[in-house]
Structure 1
């Protein structure tokens, strides 16, 4: 069973084996998250042009993996990807396999980042088209929650916890159900809290 988990990969040495479009997307996502990327492939597709990374121009042939905390096996050779996954498992290294998701330890879910929210979706490879649709649905929902609104809700929550310890559970429950237009209309944590107390 897959456990949904957000993890900080800042500074992690990560090896991406493969030079195609799928390998590029995963390398890009990992680098944006702060990982230190090394790419190993005999050649790279055009997507990689202008992308900054450490490149080893070679095919993977049982080179040591011990230096890496995470390996992405994204070659066009399914058997090689499976071999890489097995080597990672033996060495206790996290691995994602593009062609055999079930063989690795990590999957790359569909991700939605909007405002102050991050949501991850996965059908575990069964219905990727549905995952794509749900991502679009979530984006529409998240449009109402811009950074300013998220900050206001966070400030209100902190204010309630600090100033109303005996009544915080009731007020926070009401805050979670409060209409968004009223939150925006009140505009500050004092007025929102007073409104919650009256309701």
Structure 2
């Protein structure tokens, strides 16, 4: 069984070992989350070099993971990916093994985003096409920023009152959110 979690790692150091297409995709994901990405690989695709990452164009060395909050092993060498994964695990660093996800401690879910809401989907198996299809199905349900802002203002206002008035205001907000999503009210 796995733990679903959203990590706030903005500004943290991430190491991507590998310089190919998978490494490029993972580096973009990490950059989008605000991480400081360091790529280690003897060969780095131009699309990786074009990203705002630090590149060490050389082979992986023990110790390259020092100070990392997150690691991605994304080479085309299964043995090297295993080596990187083992080192990260020994250091207690979450690691994604791009070749065999089950060997790592971190998997990248498919994500639907809209208006500040983020929904992550994973299948618990190696079926990324299912996770991607589910996020496509979910994305249109996500509220836009205007609705989120209005609901947040209502919640903040409700929290300034006490007792029954607070409970009534929060119940009304809950029912409005559920109605917006096409769900029955909380009392139904």
User: If the TM-score is normalised by the length of the shorter chain, which range does it land in?
Assistant: 0.7 to 0.9
Equivalent residues of 2:49, 2:55 under 8 A apart = no
Whole-angstrom distance in 2 between the partners of 1:91 and 1:116: 33
| Post-superposition offset of 1:49 | 4.9
Aligned ranges 1:1-199 → 2 under 5 Å: 1-142=1-142, 145-178=143-176, 179-180=179-180
Deviation at 1:32, TM superposition (A): 2.0
CA drift of 1:61 comes to 4.1
- Against the structure 1 CA distance between its residues 73 and 119, is the aligned structure 2 distance closer, same or farther, given a 3 Å change threshold? same
Matches of 2:4 and 2:68 in 1, distance apart?
A: 22
> Residue 27 of structure 1: CA displacement?
0.9
Paired with 2:168 and 2:82, the residues of 1 have a C-alpha distance of 52
Looking at structure 2, the residues matched to 180 and 61 of structure 1 have their Cα atoms a distance apart, in angstroms, of 53
Measured on the aligned residues, the alpha-carbon RMSD in Å equals 1.9
Aligned residues, how many? 179
Shift of 1:12: 1.0
Residue in 2 aligned with 1:197? none
C-alpha distance 55-88 of structure 1, shift in aligned 2 (>3 A): same
Tell me if structure 2 keeps the 8 A contact 1:101–1:125.
no
Partner of 2:184: none
After TM superposition, the runs of 4+ consecutive aligned structure 1 residues lying more than 4 A away are none
Take 2:174 and 2:113, find their aligned partners in 1: how far apart are those partners? 20
Q: TM-score, normalised by structure 2?
A: 0.86
1:63 CA displacement? 4.3
> Equivalents in 2 of 1:71, 1:159: separation in Å?
42
SS at structure 2 position matched to 1:173: helix
Instruction: Tell me, yes or no, if the aligned pair for 2:114 and 2:139 is still in contact at 8 Å.
Output: yes
Residue 64 (structure 1) shift: 4.0
TM-score of the superposition, structure 1-length normalised? 0.82
